Chain A
């Protein structure tokens, strides 16, 4: 098997960049760092060098509470490539964080019957490599 074919069996591993390094460092400590704009108050999850609304660079990282609700979801039955074959079925979530931003994540576990719009979920993290922890969500009882 050549190198590229081997990669097909490996899940995409995020490569932190100048914009996102702090986010990935935070996740390693179990924190989801959101950027708060000191000039306009906007809160953003997607990490940028400037506020997406007012372009201010006065951004402050603050850990999210981890509380959110399910804005939408889709349970994946056909894997997008061999790397995810052992995981199906799994639920991809569009989570509405209580601080305002939305984010893509996936559900811990396979309790799909309990999945619904607007139900509460709570942040958790899980390591996928020595360097990278992903933010996941679990249903709140």
Chain B
């Protein structure tokens, strides 16, 4: 591959705000706090940030959140953008930040996002969130929230491969068990497959406990060039590969409901990193719904097409299994403040690769993957991360 960014950029700081129910704090305030914590983690002064990439916040009126955040922190970057590819924004922002650093557009990029979906939404904002989710002419008139698009893909997967609701429920059960070990997780009470099956139906086949939470919260990552990384930390976590794929906009134009563009985005990332799925020790997988995780385990190459249900039932996505996934609890149990949600997957995988996860630590974790996606599998972004030994 032509002079790729493999190993050229590292994450040197991670930070977050309080998460869960955090009333009375604006998305900018939460994101600024996460940024200060990431700066402290990197032993860095804010003036060293010369690039800022963010997502947008539903509970904030700013169209240029990255610019507003810079003003809020009184920094004047020479590189800034506010990205919008729904749930894949986290991965896309990290990949784009790494590319910008590798290309010399910036030296040190803050990649941050915050929102207060739980306590900060006025009715106007809630309407905006709802109506912006699907096409006004072809989808939304039929009462199809974005949840419904994911539900239809999972439903077809059940039909095509015999995947069961109990197998999907096991994803929620596993991530809840993970969250029970994570300080600050929004939901820590253990649940059973029956609890998921008996929770209220939201949009079939998804019950309430198959669906991600609604939360407040913010998270920040600081990326810099590999040359400078060791000035800030003894454990830089390197970007080894990035890949993205955008296969469609409308759910009715998705080429196949049960195979997604994650196949292509992951392959591109694996190729850049020079690895395969088998080499990976720990994963952060966007878990807006339980069935979403099943399909991603297949498309990212951790199991064969159609076999993810049994894979999860066999304990392969937790400690001792093939690919411990979402060890912080994910959006199903840790926090889901909207677009920022997948930032927490990055933070957790970075901490795993640093070896700083305490009782959540996956032993000998050196290679990690974060896969983020959104808008009914329209947007896909994969990032491969590695400890110093893998560079």
Contacts and interface: CB of A to CB of B under 8 A. Distances in A.
A128 to B, nearest CB: 7
Contact of A76 (B123, B127, B139, B143): B143
B15 to A, nearest CB: 34
Contacts of B153: 72
Contacts of A73: 152, 155, 204
B161 interface: no
A106 B142 contact: yes
B151 interface: yes
A69 to B, nearest CB: 12
Contacts of B152: 72-74, 92, 94
A128 B203 CA distance: 23
B123 A92 contact: no
B130 A81 contact: yes
Interface string A1-31: 0001101100111111100100000000000
Contact of A45 (B201, B203, B204, B252): B252
A12 B123 contact: no
A8 B127 CA distance: 6
A74 B148 contact: yes
A16 B141 CA distance: 13
Given A74-B204, A102-B252, A12 B155 contact: no
Contact of B252 (A5, A15, A79, A94): A94
A23 to B, nearest CB: 8
Interface of B: 123-124, 126-127, 130-131, 136-145, 147-148, 151-153, 155-156, 159, 200-206, 250-253, 257
A103 B155 contact: no
13 contacts: A4-B124, A8-B126, A12-B131, A14-B137, A15-B137, A46-B252, A71-B257, A72-B155, A73-B155, A92-B143, A94-B252, A104-B251, A105-B142
A75 interface: yes
B127 A4 contact: yes
Nearest to A1: B123
A75 B203 contact: yes
Given A12-B140, A92-B142, A92-B148, A46 B253 contact: yes
A140 B150 CA distance: 26
Nearest to B208: A78
Shortest Cβ-Cβ A-B pairs, 5 listed: A80-B145, A74-B151, A14-B137, A72-B152, A72-B156
Contacts of A90: 143
Nearest to B206: A74
Nearest to B207: A77
A87 B143 CA distance: 9
A104 B124 CA distance: 26
A56 to B, nearest CB: 18
Given A4-B123, A46-B253, A74 B203 contact: yes
A134 interface: yes
Contacts of A15: 136-137
Nearest to A132: B141
B201 A77 contact: yes
A94 B159 CA distance: 14
Contacts of A102: 252-253
A49 interface: no
A12 B202 CA distance: 21
A101 interface: yes
Interface string A92-108: 10100000011111100
B145 A134 contact: no
B143 A106 contact: yes
Nearest to A80: B145
